[in-house]
Each structure stands twice: as structure tokens, then as C-alpha cells.
Amino acid sequence: MTVRDWKTSQKYIRIGHNKAIRNYFKTVTVRTTREALRNSLLIYKNDSASQMLVKMQYFQQYLSGVKSNTVPVIPDSWQVKIEGNRPQLVVVFKPKSSNYPKQDSRWSLSIPHFDFNQANIANQLKKIPDYEKGKHQGVYTLKDNSKIIIYAKSGNEAKRVIKKIVTSNLIKSKYIVDRSKIDDDIKVGEARGTYKEVLVTPTYAKYFSTGQKNLQPDWVSFID
């Protein structure tokens, strides 16, 4: 395919994809997570072929997730693309209130270098705690610069959740900097904007052995 042919194909792919995105999200209101998702899925003229492919694939996953009452998730990239290819567990949460069914799961948390034990996976997942969600960001950086990032109701709540994950042997020990200094190593701050404060509980998890290199998870496990 020549450059001219690709540019023509790119134009029609962009037009068709963006039309589908706008039709699907036509009822969204401003300053909502659905608006942010819609805008992130639109294809722009300067997008590369790989960016276009990721957006189209993710939109199809999103549609599949709506039909099956699950939420499509992708592994974190930690701002640097090469790091996004590192193995990680993506845990999805929902409001804990009984008024919310499992299909209302909407928030995700990535755990890099999950120490997967197939014979004990159910018990491993039960160690992931409920927490109060909010605008206070907690960040814990592993030896390879991959991160656990969480938004909680307070800095102390963010630290509690991250500390629980790190000390519950859910991460391969060779990537943990120093367990004795974990309190000092968790950095907290307050994010801008409005964040919903709600008690959330984990409902299911998806494991990506190659991170963002393959957006199809190796396995999915529901958390009772």
C-alpha cells in the first residue's frame, strides 16, 4: 500500500469509527467519565496506525463488556510505553452497597507484577481490600518504575490499601523496594477536580501477562 492509499484508508476508517463513537455516546453530558471515554476513543488526523488500532479494539471490547455486564479494562502504562508491557492484574470495583449489582462495576486498579499462584488464586484475590474511593491519590513505585496508583477518600486510606496489597504477597518480592519503609515510599497528594466518594469492593480481576502488548487477558476471575 502506498502512502497515498494509506492516507485515504486512514481517512475513511477515522470517519466511520468516529461516527460510531458519537452515535453510541450521543447522550453523554459534559464533565463525566463517559464524556472522557468518548473523547479518548475518537481517532484524530495525527494518530498513528497503532493508536487507531488500540482505539478501535478497545471500543469493540467496551461494546462486548456492556452486553456481558463486565467492564473492559486495559493495563496501566505508567506514562512510559515500554513499562505498559509488564505483567499486571487489573482489579475492577463497584460500590459496596447492595443497591448496586455486579454489572455496575466501573473502577479499576492495576497491580503490577502480580505473583500469580494458580492453585491459590481465589485466596489471593480475597486479600484485595474494600476501600473508600475519593480524590486523594496514593502512588507506590516498584523497582522497575511500575506503579500502584489509587484514588481514595484520604491520604491515610490510600496508604492503607497500598500497604495491604504490598504486604499480602500479591506482588513478586524482587520488585518491592523495601517493605520496612513502605509508609515513607507511598506518596500521597490531592487530585484536582471532583471525585465521587463511595465505599467500593472488588468484583472481578483480569490478568495480562504481557501488559498492553496484548489487550486480551490471560484469564478473568470473579471475586466472591
The half-sphere exposure of 65 on its side-chain side, counting CA atoms within 13 A, is: 21
Query: Cell numbers 471532583 correspond to what residue?
Result: 194
Spatial distance between the Cα atoms of 27 and 170, rounded to a whole number of angstroms = 40
Q: Which residues pair with 99 in a beta bridge?
A: none
More confident call, 199 vs 46: 199
DSSP 138-190: EEEE-TTS-EEEEEESSHHHHHHHHHHHHHTT-B-GGG-S-GGGHHHH-EEEE
Residue 67 has pLDDT above 50, yes or no: no
More confident call, 125 vs 52: 125
Q: What is the pLDDT of residue 54?
A: 76
Q: What is the pLDDT of residue 126?
A: 93
Query: Cell numbers 520496612 correspond to what residue?
Result: 180
Query: Tell me: the pLDDT tens digits for 168-219?
Result: 999 999 999 998 899 999 999 988 777 788 999 999 898 888 877 777 788 8
Domain ranges within the chain, ordered by starting residue: 3-68, 81-222
Spatial distance between the Cα atoms of 111 and 89, rounded to a whole number of angstroms = 5
Spatial distance between the Cα atoms of 206 and 73, rounded to a whole number of angstroms = 8
State pTM to two decimals: 0.64
